[in-house]
């Protein structure tokens, strides 16, 4: 062993043997406060209440998010329908100035002037009515947040204990064997 190797080995042994200011060696292993191999005990009532509260909070947040998504979808449908209404107004407005005169003059070649203008006006009203009907049909499809309403009803029904189940699940209920109820005695 060379002189440098002996010096490095001596330094390493001095470092490991050194103690901190209180005299406790640095190599002291920690003592675990709990047995890492022990099985988890049944959750306490406080843990169960904490978990139920957290789950209810998550459920409410999820229902609000579902309602927001459904309402956003319905607003988009409403905007699409309103675009048809706006298009109907634009067509009606612009066509009364330009296209109206053009068609009336073309029809004036074969008909009297008043008849040609009346035919063009009726055609424009028909186009505007058709576009307004398309807009109405789009807006009529809006149904509201149906999934959210159904989900809230299911949650309400699940959290509300059924009075019939509470009374029929006792030890003397029909179907009970050896004095033990066949269903959960809490009524849930």
Structure tokens at 16: 């490991």
CB atoms within 10 A of CB 145: 19
What is the average per-residue pLDDT within 132-138?
A: 91
What pLDDT score does 126 carry?
Answer: 94
pTM tops 0.75 = no
CB within 8 A of 88, min separation 6: which ones?
128, 131, 132, 135
What is the average per-residue pLDDT within 111-115?
A: 88
User: Which of 15-29, 78-92, 147-161 reaches the highest mean pLDDT?
Assistant: 78-92
What pLDDT score does 131 carry?
Answer: 92
Phi and psi at residue 77, in whole multiples of 5°? -65, -40
Q: How confident is the model at residue 134 (pLDDT cuts 50, 70, 90)?
A: very high
- Taking 80 as the threshold, does the pLDDT of residue 95 lie above it? no
- Taking 70 as the threshold, does the pLDDT of residue 120 lie above it? yes
What pLDDT score does 130 carry?
Answer: 94
- Taking 70 as the threshold, does the pLDDT of residue 90 lie above it? yes
- Pairwise pLDDT comparison (179 vs 146), residue with the higher score: 146
What pLDDT score does 9 carry?
Answer: 62
- Taking 90 as the threshold, does the pLDDT of residue 10 lie above it? no
Query: Taking a C-beta distance cutoff of 8 angstroms, is the pair 185, 170 a contact?
Result: yes
Mean pLDDT of the chain: 77
- Name which of 174, 168, 160 is nearest 185 in CA terms: 168
- Pairwise pLDDT comparison (3 vs 111), residue with the higher score: 111
- Taking 80 as the threshold, does the pLDDT of residue 108 lie above it? yes
What residue ranges do the domains of the chain occupy? 48-154
Q: How confident is the model at residue 86 (pLDDT cuts 50, 70, 90)?
A: very high
What pLDDT score does 161 carry?
Answer: 77
């Amino acid at each position: 062993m060379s002189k440098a190797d002996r010096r490095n080995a001596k330094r390493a042994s001095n470092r490991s043997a050194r103690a901190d200011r209180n005299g406790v060696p640095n190599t002291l292993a920690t003592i675990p406060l709990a047995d890492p191999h022990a099985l988890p005990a049944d959750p306490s009532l406080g843990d169960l209440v904490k978990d139920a509260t957290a789950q209810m909070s998550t459920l409410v947040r999820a229902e609000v998010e579902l309602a927001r998504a459904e309402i956003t979808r319905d607003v988009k449908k409403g905007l699409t329908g309103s675009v048809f209404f706006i298009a109907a107004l634009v067509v009606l407005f612009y066509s009364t100035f330009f296209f109206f005169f053009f068609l009336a003059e073309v029809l004036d070649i074969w008909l009297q002037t008043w008849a040609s203008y009346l035919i063009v006006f009726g055609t424009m009203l028909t186009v505007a009515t058709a576009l307004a009907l398309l807009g109405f049909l789009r807006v009529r499809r809006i149904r509201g947040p149906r999934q959210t309403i159904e989900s809230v009803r299911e949650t309400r029904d699940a959290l509300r204990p059924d009075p019939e189940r509470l009374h029929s699940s006792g030890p003397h209920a029909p179907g009970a064997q050896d004095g033990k109820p066949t269903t959960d005695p809490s009524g849930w």
